[in-house]
Structure 1
């Protein structure tokens, strides 16, 4: 059983097509098919059901796939650890972040990291804070940047607080509130809101503030993407509460100070298990190395 055979199986499983898998792996299709057939003979089981219309995993293939991924990850980690002993950082660096992260200039940091460690591979994923915490705990990503209520703290991971900021209200230029310099939550509670989905960390910042003030609000528009949330506000569909550093990069919206605004804390988090050399180097670059 060879690592290359495992790579081929993963490619076919992810593309559901032998031709596309061969293109991804930069080999001719006959060579890829031959290696998978050899592996199936060695295992004594078919990994894929092949028809003229589709390719899909068999039960044996579904059982083999996660283990194959673990083997490839372990092989890559081993190579990265050996390279680190001679001062070379390589392997994967998987970073997750919320769309509104502002405490760190992520593109600039990643550019510097790539310049220092060109053999490391960087993957960047965007998601909700609660999802990112789970991904770090499961080892799917190494480092993540979150925004959560100041009353909370990431659980089950190592964390460092980066910044705190009070949210501001944003409205379209023709909104009745656009001429105001400041408002309070009671005034805002009568407005229609555009916000992130219920029970997400980004939504909780505002929900907790209104609840603590004994107020309720109407949120008929829920959006998973902060950029599109801002577009809905710009179209006049409602009001939103957003971090000021994020709002500074938007156009076509009016910002209003909220006198009793909720606050959020931004964190960088990483797993409790031993870090890859790439993740360690990334944290060191931020000046917030592992504890």
Structure 2
């Protein structure tokens, strides 16, 4: 079975787009489509269907695509361990972080690096998403911690943390009770340049639930200004709970059908580097810390 076809299928599943998956792999869309078609012929099932709403898995694809993920993860682990054994690695992990990544998660990362079989030091760099992704592709960073808002299908990815999202809308009710997503759509939202991923998250949240996103005609420079402007009454804002100013009040938990709306953060790294096996353990430890925290 062609492994590249399996990777193409995973990329389409992650991006929900044949064209985006092809761009991520640096191949033409016909080449990627042909690779998936060959895979489907080998498997005897159709994995995806296209519609005006985009690319979605077929019922057969919904069963098989998670198995493809597991198979590729296992294969990547074998390759990573072989690289680790064949090539000595540096004593440091160069880690990029988005401005939305909180100090608690960074502290857990230092802990995880120190607890590797061969302890490592972390060298941190904070930057916007575009620079972090470019530096990861260029090999100038070993791993990045970013909001899970845009797939990088040629890289390994794992969600390591989630946190609730809140609405700041002083023009609305003064109650601190949760607000349903459909009710929150009545407000006009201030957005920021999508350097941290917050605008992508907000836009996709409304789009995926068939809700119109009304926007304030201006733009805040970053999430800190977004918080301040929303509390001044310029417009409403969606923010991760940890990025609000609690003493000012006016924040309400955002829910959908009573369940909290959350933003996810993920680790992204290149499985082709000598550090890959250590990064696997590093990320697994970060995810374990998050699971233990949610269980408290």
TM range (shorter): 0.5 to 0.7
**Superposition deviation, residue 121 in structure 1:** 6.5
**Superposition deviation, residue 216 in structure 1:** 3.1
Aligned to 1:158: 156
User: Out of 177, 193, 209, which is 2:205 matched to?
Assistant: 209
Task: Confirm or deny: 8 A CA contact 2:99 2:196 kept in the other structure.
Answer: no
SS in 2 for 1:162: strand
Structure 1 range deviating more: 114-123 or 184-193:
114-123
Aligned to 2:23: none
Task: Map Cα deviations across residues 187-215 of structure 1 (whole Å, 9 max, x no partner).
Answer: 33332322232597421222123233332
1:84-123 alignment runs, 5 A limit: 90=91, 92-102=92-102, 105-110=105-110, 113=113, 120=121, 122-123=123-124
Task: Confirm or deny: 8 A CA contact 1:193 1:221 kept in the other structure.
Answer: no
Task: Map Cα deviations across residues 111-158 of structure 1 (whole Å, 9 max, x no partner).
Answer: 774799999571322323x54333312212111111134xx6432211
Aligned to 1:243: 240
Aligned to 2:173: 177
Distance 1:256 1:156, change over 3 A: same
How many pairs are equivalent? Answer: 195
SS in 2 for 1:209: helix
Distance 1:273 1:253, change over 3 A: farther
State the alpha-carbon separation in 1 of the partners of residues 239 and 250 from structure 2. 12
Distance 1:160 1:288, change over 3 A: farther
State the alpha-carbon separation in 1 of the partners of residues 181 and 247 from structure 2. 24
1:256 aligns with 2:257: no
Q: Pick the structure with greater CA Rg.
A: 1
State the alpha-carbon separation in 2 of the partners of residues 131 and 243 from structure 1. 22
Task: Confirm or deny: 8 A CA contact 1:96 1:127 kept in the other structure.
Answer: no
State the alpha-carbon separation in 2 of the partners of residues 115 and 214 from structure 1. 45
Aligned to 1:147: 147
User: Out of 161, 164, 167, which is 2:165 matched to?
Assistant: 167
Distance 1:280 1:106, change over 3 A: farther
**Unmatched 5+ residue regions in structure 1?**
1-80
TM-score, with structure 2 as normaliser: 0.52
Task: Confirm or deny: 8 A CA contact 2:189 2:213 kept in the other structure.
Answer: no
Task: Confirm or deny: 8 A CA contact 1:164 1:266 kept in the other structure.
Answer: yes
User: Which aligned segments of 4 or more residues in structure 1 are displaced greater than 6 angstroms?
Assistant: 114-119
Distance 1:207 1:248, change over 3 A: closer
Aligned to 2:226: 229
State the alpha-carbon separation in 2 of the partners of residues 237 and 275 from structure 1. 50
State the alpha-carbon separation in 2 of the partners of residues 155 and 162 from structure 1. 17
State the alpha-carbon separation in 2 of the partners of residues 142 and 171 from structure 1. 39
**Superposition deviation, residue 280 in structure 1:** 6.0
Aligned to 2:216: 219
Task: Confirm or deny: 8 A CA contact 1:171 1:253 kept in the other structure.
Answer: no
**Superposition deviation, residue 106 in structure 1:** 0.2
**Superposition deviation, residue 256 in structure 1:** 0.8
**Unmatched 5+ residue regions in structure 2?**
1-86, 287-296
CA RMSD of aligned residues (A): 3.7
